[in-house]
């Protein structure tokens, strides 16, 4: 088969896919909202679309480099003047460079109308926050019901009663919010709306009885253990222990007693994956270990 034709058609098809992916990613909600709302398009999550955009982007880049190699002579001809002398900035090359530079500089300095492209995308994403709801804290959907209610100052027993009254059975308060939502055909936001009135004293997590706004100031700790900051999954168990102020050796021994063998430099996301859970479940297990030293 003709390599030149294969290269050209690969560029065409990968460009089509990249164009469509770019449009989807242009309007997709922010990551925290997409995860919270269990956002999908054509059965793919935001992570799926991003991953596809990256891999196909590499294919397009490879095909583009090969295309340049196969068409090196014509490209060099584009950089020659009428006297057939090489000029890096020939008329065609200069126009292409200027157009690229205009977009780069205008984007950096927020110059309209080019920056309007970015602004419009942000407006769409802000609208998604109003439509789908905003999680009370990062990765809230992967918290267990127990950890979620503790973080928001909600009564876990009352929360389970409210869920049961709404037709959502929760046999184990260690089940993740996203799993409870998926099993009941709801979103994490809808689960949150149901239990939002379970605060001690009858108020909502937001403070006013009956409001649906949710907590804007979740607790920075769970059962007295400092809550982790964003990007927890990328941290090692040692880094997480240092961040939340806990003895790493004690935590590792406690995890080992629960059948989770780890080393200080093991990443939380890898520990969670090997255990069939999520990073928030590892953190909540650490909270149990710290709260019950006898069980270490």
Residues 95 and 203 in one domain: no
Residues 146 and 58 in one domain: no
Tell me the HSE value of 281 on the side-chain side, using a 13 A CA sphere: 21
Residues 64 and 117 in one domain: yes
Buried b (16+ CB within 10 A) or exposed e, 272-293: beebebbbbbbbbbbbbbbeee
Contact 150, 223 (CB under 8 A): yes
Residue 100 has pLDDT above 70, yes or no: yes
Residues 97 and 68 in one domain: yes
Q: Which of 132, 157, 183 finishes a domain?
A: 132
CA distance 14 to 79: 27
Residue 218 has pLDDT above 90, yes or no: no
Percent of the residues in the chain that have a pLDDT greater than 70, as a whole number: 90
Question: Looking at per-residue confidence, does 296 or 229 come out higher?
Answer: 229
CA distance 244 to 262: 18
Q: How many structural domains comprise the chain?
A: 3
Q: Which of 110, 132, 154 finishes a domain?
A: 132
Residues 191 and 80 in one domain: no
Helix (H, G, I), strand (E, B) or coil at 116: helix
Residues 31 and 87 in one domain: yes
Instruction: Quick: pLDDT tens for 262-277.
Output: 999 999 989 988 888 8
Number of Cβ within a 10 Å radius of residue 163: 20
Residues 110 and 194 in one domain: no
Q: What is the mean pLDDT of residues 28-57?
A: 90
Q: What are phi and psi of 30, to 5 degrees?
A: -55, 155
Q: Which of 84, 116, 132 finishes a domain?
A: 132
Element (H, E) at 221: strand 221-222
Q: Phi-psi region for residue 50, left (φ > 0), alpha (ψ -120 to 50) or beta?
A: alpha
Residues 275 and 185 in one domain: no
Number of Cβ within a 10 Å radius of residue 36: 27
Instruction: Quick: pLDDT tens for 182-214.
Output: 999 988 989 999 998 766 555 555 443 333 344
Contacts of 45 (CB under 8 A, 6+ apart): 34, 38, 39
CA distance 90 to 77: 10
Buried b (16+ CB within 10 A) or exposed e, 221-246: ebeebebbeeebbebbbbbbbeebeb
Contacts of 212 (CB under 8 A, 6+ apart): 193, 196, 204, 206
How high is the pLDDT of residue 13? 95
Confidence of residue 11 (pLDDT cuts 50, 70, 90): very high
Residues 85 and 37 in one domain: yes
How high is the pLDDT of residue 248? 92
Per the listing, tokens 């959907």 go with 141
Residues 117 and 156 in one domain: no
CA distance 81 to 42: 50
| Domain containing residue 242 | 225-295
CA distance 148 to 189: 12
Residues 151 and 53 in one domain: no
Residues 42 and 115 in one domain: yes
Most confidently modeled of 59-63, 193-197, 276-280? 59-63
**Assessment of whether the complete model's pTM goes beyond 0.85:** no
What is the maximal distance between C-alpha atoms in the chain?
A: 87
């Amino acid at each position: 088969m003709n390599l030149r034709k294969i290269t050209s058609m690969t560029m065409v098809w990968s460009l089509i896919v990249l164009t469509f992916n770019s449009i989807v990613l242009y309007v997709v909600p922010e990551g925290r909202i997409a995860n919270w709302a269990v956002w999908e398009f054509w059965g793919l999550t935001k992570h799926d679309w991003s991953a596809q955009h990256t891999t196909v982007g590499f294919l397009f880049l490879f095909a583009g480099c090969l295309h340049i190699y196969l068409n090196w002579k014509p490209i060099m001809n584009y950089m020659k003047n009428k006297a057939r002398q090489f000029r890096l900035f020939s008329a065609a090359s200069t126009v292409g460079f200027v157009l690229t530079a205009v977009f780069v500089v205008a984007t950096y300095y927020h110059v309209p109308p080019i920056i309007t492209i970015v602004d419009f995308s942000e407006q769409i994403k802000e609208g998604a926050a109003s439509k789908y709801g905003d999680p009370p804290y990062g990765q809230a959907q992967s918290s267990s019901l127990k950890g979620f209610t503790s973080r928001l100052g909600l009564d876990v027993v009352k929360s389970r009663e409210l869920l049961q009254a709404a037709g959502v059975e929760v046999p184990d308060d260690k089940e993740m919010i996203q799993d409870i939502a998926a099993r009941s055909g709801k979103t994490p936001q809808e689960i949150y709306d149901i239990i939002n009135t379970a605060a001690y004293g009858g108020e909502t997590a937001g403070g006013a009885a009956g409001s649906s706004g949710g907590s804007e100031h979740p607790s920075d700790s769970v059962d007295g253990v400092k809550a982790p900051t964003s990007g927890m999954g990328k941290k090692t168990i040692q880094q997480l222990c240092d961040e939340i102020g806990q003895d790493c050796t004690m935590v590792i021994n406690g995890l080992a007693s629960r059948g989770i063998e780890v080393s200080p430099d093991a990443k939380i996301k890898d520990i969670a994956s090997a255990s069939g859970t999520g990073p928030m479940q590892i953190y909540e297990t650490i909270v149990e270990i710290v709260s019950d030293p006898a069980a270490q």
